[in-house]
Amino acid sequence: MNTNRFRFVYLAMTMVGLSALLILAGCSKKTTSTTTSNPTLYTSTTTTTTTNTSTFTTPKYSINSNSKTGIGTYLVDGEGLTLYWTTRDAVGQSNITGATLANWPIFYTSNVNVPSPLSTSDFSSITRADGNEQTTFKGWPLYYYVNDKVSGDTLGQGLAGVWYAVDPTLNVPPSPAITTATNSTTTSNPTSTSTSTTTTSSPFPYQGSGSGNWSGQIIYNYKTYNVSGTMTVAVDANGVFSGSIVSSSGGTADTTITAQVDKNGNLTGTVSFTVSGITFITNWQGKIIASGNSLSMQGTWTSQYGSGIFSGTGTSSK
């Protein structure tokens, strides 16, 4: 009898507990529904999110202009790197090919977007003989210079007297550098001197060919390789320095070199060579000195893998 009463009481308490849980669940569901359907809360949240995520994007130009003391206004790409043109080209035609392109890479953009006062109508493109597209300004092909690394660099300005940063106010690249010769003539009156000035075009003073020696060390994979050999080079009328290197030590393949000589005889470029099957490309800089019909060349090459020197002599064909 007492056992049955206990079971009844236990069952009754269980039913009361379940009822309480159902009531609480119903209240919780109702509260969630009310919060979700509150239009004021939803509107407030949406307005805040929209305000916080609104941004203004400044237009990015694919071609722009910059200015610099000694150069004036010149064209740059969207990242601020200087754009060049050369008197070696013609309207609608690029004459820069082969090894020279290692120093003067072509510039091309498929979307010309320029700020005022530049005009998109001044820009077009050509298909080069090698099949690549190249952007033009007033018909003249555009290039970079390999040693310009950051915005504001204009290291290619005036090189070889034929490369110039693009002046957007001009229709053609500047004429090659000229020199002014002054001739003095003394008349019969000893106190009077007649002076005449003659302006003539000056050919590039370092053109010619020569040969020399190169040597150095390459450090790779914790090993040091001694490298040396002979080089044969030529400098054309536009200051393009090109040639080849033949190694006199094992493990190094025949090598080609390319550089650009400026109007002061400074040369900059690259040299690539192979050691134990690994090809290295290094920076190359030096100096050419012309004396009469002779050329003297010296300089260094450097890279993260090593360094070396070169020197040689040649004959001017100017």
Whether residue 263 is predicted with pLDDT greater than 90 in this model: the reply is no
Contacts of 139 (CB under 8 A, 6+ apart): 91, 92, 124
Residue 161 counted as domain residue: yes
- Cβ contact 257:269 at 8 Å: yes
pTM over 0.95: no
Whether residue 217 is predicted with pLDDT greater than 50 in this model: the reply is yes
Residue 261 counted as domain residue: yes
**pLDDT class for 183, splitting at 50, 70, 90?**
very low
pLDDT for position 203:
56
Q: Mark residue 177 as left, alpha or beta (left: phi above 0; alpha: psi -120 to 50; beta: remaining).
A: beta
Mark whether 49 and 69 lie in a shared domain: no
Residue 280 counted as domain residue: yes
pLDDT for position 249:
59
- Among the candidates 130, 165, 200, a domain finishes at 165
Alpha-carbon span 282 to 305, nearest angstrom: 9
Tokens 């040396």 found at = 228
Mark whether 23 and 114 lie in a shared domain: no
pLDDT for position 41:
32
Residue 181 counted as domain residue: no
Residue-wise DSSP of 212-259:
EEEEEEEEETTEEEEEEEEEEEEE-TT-EEEEEEEESSTTB--EEEEE
**Among 109-123, 242-256, 284-298, the least confident range:** 242-256
Mark whether 22 and 96 lie in a shared domain: no
Alpha-carbon span 249 to 227, nearest angstrom: 6
Q: What is the CATH number of the domain that holds 244?
A: 2.40.160.90
pLDDT, greater one: 225 or 318: 225
Mark whether 33 and 69 lie in a shared domain: no
pLDDT for position 313:
87
CA distances to 107, 160, 308 from 68, in Å: 21, 20, 35
Whether residue 159 is predicted with pLDDT greater than 90 in this model: the reply is no
How high does pLDDT run on average in the chain? 73
Residue 58 counted as domain residue: no
Alpha-carbon span 82 to 142, nearest angstrom: 10
Residue 312 counted as domain residue: yes
Tokens 């957007």 found at = 168
- Cβ contact 263:158 at 8 Å: yes
Mark whether 27 and 67 lie in a shared domain: no
Alpha-carbon span 111 to 134, nearest angstrom: 12
For residue 19, which phi and psi values (nearest 5 degrees)? -60, -45
Domain count, the chain: 3
Mark whether 70 and 160 lie in a shared domain: yes
Residue 188 counted as domain residue: no
Q: How far is CA 292 from the centre of its chain?
A: 37
Q: Show the domain range for 47.
A: 2-53
Mark whether 78 and 152 lie in a shared domain: yes
pLDDT for position 125:
97
3-class state of residue 49 by DSSP: helix
For residue 192, the cross-strand partners are: none
Residue 186 counted as domain residue: no
**pLDDT class for 32, splitting at 50, 70, 90?**
very low
pLDDT in tens, 42-99: 323 333 333 333 333 345 899 999 999 989 999 999 999 999 999 888 999 998 887 6
